[in-house]
Amino acid sequence: MDAFQLTYKPYGDRSILVEWPPEINETILHDVINFKKNLQQHNFKSKIEITSAYNSLLITYDYTIENINSEVLTLKSLYSVKKIPKALTFRLWKIPACYDDGFALDLEEISNEKKLSKPEIIALHSGTIYTVYFIGFLPGFLYLGGLDKSLHYPRKSTPRLQIKKGAVAIGGNQTGIYPNESPGGWNIIGNSPICFFDASKDIPCFAKAGDKIQFVPINIKEYHDISALVKEGVYQMESEVMDG
């Protein structure tokens, strides 16, 4: 993998923002992930916290950065080390999603605007394998890339004050799932009964950047059956290992 031209910027007193070219693609994503792994394995003089996004890393130190140039040189040298990147392994997660009218608050609007039937939209949405680029703005909110262009739809000008936990939604050229009840401006087309974030677990969110997601359409009875299993803590989500 060829190296990218990165930019390094101070971000407050204790952080440095590292940015890749402003594109959303898997080549950049894998480079971000590899650099993050390299940083995590480096013996820094103190603890650092690393937050990744589509094409950036935010590196936060547990001390005030006195010499930004020195820290940037260290980061540049770590990025420029000629290593053969280890093969990345990810998981494909099969996410059950119910597109029933009771959940799909905006499906009819999208259907009318796009001149696509509801079954066509559901088939397009569930027929794609998405890439997890990063997790935020809510804990467990998966930012997914790969939405079919025919389903791109602008976010609402006035966000809803309350969106149901598990809401499957479209916002611009992205799709995602609201892990908890919250306000939001994305267009709701269904709901998933599974849990996307559990703070009581060692790994609160099952997915990580680079993983894949595919939605599996389920009917309302299956939705309630899975909800009961999730509540009992015995639901096993289908997944498989994929090479990056």
Closest CA to 232 of 202, 177, 194: 194
Q: Does 154 lie in the same domain as 224?
A: yes
Domain boundary at 58, 80, 102, which? 80
Identify the weakest region by mean pLDDT among 68-82, 143-157, 173-187: 68-82
Residue 1 lies in a domain: no
Q: Does 51 lie in the same domain as 116?
A: no
Q: What is the per-residue pLDDT for 2?
A: 59
Identify the weakest region by mean pLDDT among 80-84, 170-174, 188-192, 204-208: 80-84
Q: Does 176 lie in the same domain as 107?
A: yes
Q: Inform me whether the pLDDT recorded for 139 exceeds 60.
A: yes
Q: Who contacts 187 (Cβ-Cβ below 8 Å, separation ≥6)?
A: 105, 106, 109, 110, 153, 155, 156, 169, 170, 171
Average pLDDT of span 79-100: 82
Q: What is the per-residue pLDDT for 84?
A: 54
Residue 145, CA distances (Å) to 13, 130, 188 in order: 32, 6, 17
Q: Inform me whether the pLDDT recorded for 8 exceeds 60.
A: yes
Token pair 């799909």: residue:
104
Q: What is the per-residue pLDDT for 135?
A: 85
Q: Does 74 lie in the same domain as 105?
A: no
Closest CA to 122 of 150, 157, 143, 145: 150
Residue 203, CA distances (Å) to 6, 89, 139 in order: 30, 17, 12
Closest CA to 192 of 153, 172, 164, 170: 164
Identify the weakest region by mean pLDDT among 37-41, 127-131, 165-169: 37-41
Domain boundary at 49, 80, 111, which? 80
Q: For residue 192, what pLDDT band results from cuts at 50, 70 and 90?
A: very high
SS3 state of residue 222 = helix
Residue 36 lies in a domain: yes
Average pLDDT of span 204-217: 91
36 exposed, middle or buried (CB, 10 Å; 0-12, 13-18, 19+)? middle
Domain count, the chain: 2
Write the Ramachandran bin of 136: left for phi over 0, alpha for psi from -120 to 50, otherwise beta.
left
Q: What is the per-residue pLDDT for 182?
A: 92
Spatial separation of the C-alpha atoms in residues 163 and 1, rounded to whole Å: 41
Cis before residue 137, ω within 30 degrees of 0?
yes
Q: What six digits make up the tokens of 108?
A: 């009819």
How far from the centroid of its chain's Cα atoms is residue 156's Cα?
20
Domain boundary at 80, 113, 137, which? 80
Domain hosting 22: range is 7-80
Residue 57 lies in a domain: yes
Q: pLDDT digits over 90-100, tens only? A: 899 999 999 99
Q: Does 221 lie in the same domain as 194?
A: yes
Q: Does 219 lie in the same domain as 148?
A: yes
Average pLDDT of span 125-154: 91
